[in-house]
Amino acid sequence: MDDFLKKFFPSVYERKQHAIEDNYCKYDNQYLQLFTSSLYLAALLSSFVASSVCEKFGRKPTIFVASLFFLAGAGLSSGAQYLWMLIIGRVLLGCGVGFGNEAVPLFLSEIAPVQHRGAVNILFQLFVTIGILIANLVNYGTSKSHPNGWRISLGLAGTPALVLFIGSLIIPETPSSLIEHGKEGKGLKALKQIRGVDDVDAEFKQIQSACEIAREVKNPFKNIMKRSSIPPLVIAVLMQVFQQFTGINAIMFYAPVLFQTVGFKNDASLLSSVITGLVNVISTLVSVYAVDKIGRRKLLLQACVQMFISQVAIGLILILKLSATGTLSKPLAIIVVCLVCLYVMSFAWSWGPLGWLIPSETFPLETRTAGFAFAVSSNMLFTFLIAQAFLSMLCHMKAGIFFFFAAWIIIMGLFVVKLLPETKNVPIDLMAENVWKKHPVWSKFMD
């Protein structure tokens, strides 16, 4: 928004006004990128603290702390008078992301029945996509509110933070966490409450057995480096790296910038972002339905093909038809938006939700919080790197940036074929026996 740029990034605003400025470079500003990426650097560092909180105090208190960070970050961001206040607000929001991303997927995986674990866990990603859509709608609605529309946008982040705060007081702790902390009576009661039946003896004993093993591990971060922990750790980290190198965050963060580059005006570019956000939500619903029926691997491989075609097509159109100071014709600009939607669609039913689901379900209980902390921190590290670098990459690589991400998608497909096991319908505490020990590559690492 121009009012936002005038106050905090005047040099970017001035550059934006010059029509002869290179399309690909008018937003290239390290401070503007830092505003976006500082959130993810904070999330990276806070995820390890969140892991300890999650381990010592449980999933429910960790979610409560996340809500407090979100509330504080939204308040400071919307009331910012100086750039440093804005950045600190983003850092607080980043801490909320670190704590929330650590606790919520674990919470969902531990309370979900095995036959619906994929669908339940993907609800996390579904509501992330709904949040993105609402954020785009809010930005579109406040873009004409001068001069404080941006304050309304950032301040309204306090609304979902408040919902999370209230929710964290209502939800139960997971049976696994209660039993792990020696509260077996409460754990049994919580399990019966969550399942809605009294006959939970088999599952209760399975959780007890996993907790007994977990209690023997005094330092989960040290244990995660053992040979038998390498398979789930490598899978967890690579899923996060590849999720970011699809290029999804580059496109979703900077969709208005991208659409302005190809010729849309400011309001139209924000509206185009709303369209991609809507596609994101609907496609994630597909994943909720399909993940426990089709399986994880097939969804990931199908998406690799669709994302590759979309990225290459966008790159070719921009190379052939978009000059540094011109715009695309309206039909071509609409085709680019449609290709972006095809790309977002495939990501939203595959690498988006499964990037969180698979790491949350593959670690044994004794290393689950530590292992998932590595997954969260890896995601935030590469989100930070992409967010910090994207506008500069767009400036220097121009349309070639889409071929850069397309090359990574080929590598991702090979990773799924060779190294990623199918985890559909496997109980979360039987992964070692039923998955890792039977895999042609990873079985060599198991005791």
pLDDT digits over 249-286, tens only?
A: 767 665 666 677 666 776 776 777 788 889 989 999 99
Q: How many whole angstroms from its chain centre is CA 348?
A: 11
Say whether the peptide bond before residue 147 is cis (omega within 30 degrees of 0): yes
* Least confident among 220-229, 249-258, 303-312, 396-405: 249-258
Asked whether the predicted pLDDT for residue 302 surpasses 80, the reply is yes
% of the chain surpassing 90 pLDDT:
37
Asked whether the predicted pLDDT for residue 173 surpasses 60, the reply is yes
Residue type, 225: M
What pLDDT does 417 receive?
Answer: 95
Distances (CA, A) of 206 to 41, 62, 104, 402: 37, 25, 22, 47
How far, in Å, CA of 115 to CA of 130, rounded?
A: 25
Each residue's pLDDT tens digit, 101-132: 889 988 998 888 888 888 888 888 888 889 88
Tokens standing for residue 69: 């960070």
How far, in Å, CA of 307 to CA of 405, rounded?
A: 9
What pLDDT does 91 receive?
Answer: 93
* Least confident among 70-74, 124-128, 292-296, 324-328: 324-328
How far, in Å, CA of 311 to CA of 304, rounded?
A: 11
What pLDDT does 114 receive?
Answer: 80
Asked whether the predicted pLDDT for residue 326 surpasses 70, the reply is no
Each residue's pLDDT tens digit, 24-43: 676 667 777 777 778 888 99
Global confidence as pTM: 0.75
**Better-scored residue on pLDDT, 10 or 388:** 10
What pLDDT does 336 receive?
Answer: 82
How far, in Å, CA of 247 to CA of 265, rounded?
A: 23
What pLDDT does 19 receive?
Answer: 47
Distances (CA, A) of 297 to 150, 379, 416, 438: 41, 20, 7, 16
Other C-beta atoms lying within 10 Å of the C-beta of residue 423: 21
Contact 440, 367 (CB under 8 A): no
What pLDDT does 65 receive?
Answer: 97
Among 7-11, 60-64, 129-133, 237-241, the range of highest mean pLDDT: 60-64
What pLDDT does 97 receive?
Answer: 93
Name the CA radius of gyration of the chain, rounded: 22
Output phi, psi for 129, to 5 deg. Answer: -65, -35
**Better-scored residue on pLDDT, 443 or 269:** 443
Contact 372, 360 (CB under 8 A): yes
Q: What is the rounded average pLDDT of the residues 318-342? A: 80
% of the chain surpassing 70 pLDDT:
93
Asked whether the predicted pLDDT for residue 12 surpasses 60, the reply is yes
Q: What is the rounded average pLDDT of the residues 380-386? A: 85
Banded pLDDT at 18 (limits 50, 70, 90)? low
Q: What value does the mean pLDDT of the chain take?
A: 86
Each residue's pLDDT tens digit, 385-442: 887 787 788 788 888 888 999 999 999 999 999 999 998 888 877 888 888 999 999 9
How far, in Å, CA of 237 to CA of 296, rounded?
A: 17
Asked whether the predicted pLDDT for residue 20 surpasses 60, the reply is no
What pLDDT does 257 receive?
Answer: 64
SS3 sequence, the chain?
Answer: CHHHHHHHCHHHHHHHCCCCCCCCCCCCCHHHHHHHHHHHHHHHHHHHHHHHHHHHHCHHHHHHHHHHHHHHHHHHHHCCCCHHHHHHHHHHHHHHHHHHHHHHHHHHHHHCCHHHHHHHHHHHHHHHHHHHHHHHHHHHHHCCCCCCHHHHHHHCCHHHHHHHHHHHHHCCCCHHHHHHCCCHHHHHHHHHHHHCCCCCHHHHHHHHHHHHHHHCCCCHHHHCCCHHHHHHHHHHHHHHHHHHHCCHHHHHHCHHHHHHHCCCCHHHHHHHHHHHHHHHHHHHHHHHHHHHHHCHHHHHHHHHHHHHHHHHHHHHHHHHHCCCCCCCCHHHHHHHHHHHHHHHHHHHCCHHHHHHHHHHHHCCHHHHHHHHHHHHHHHHHHHHHHHHHHHHHHHHHCCHHHHHHHHHHHHHHHHHHHHCCCCCCCCHHHHHHHCHHHCCCHHHHCC
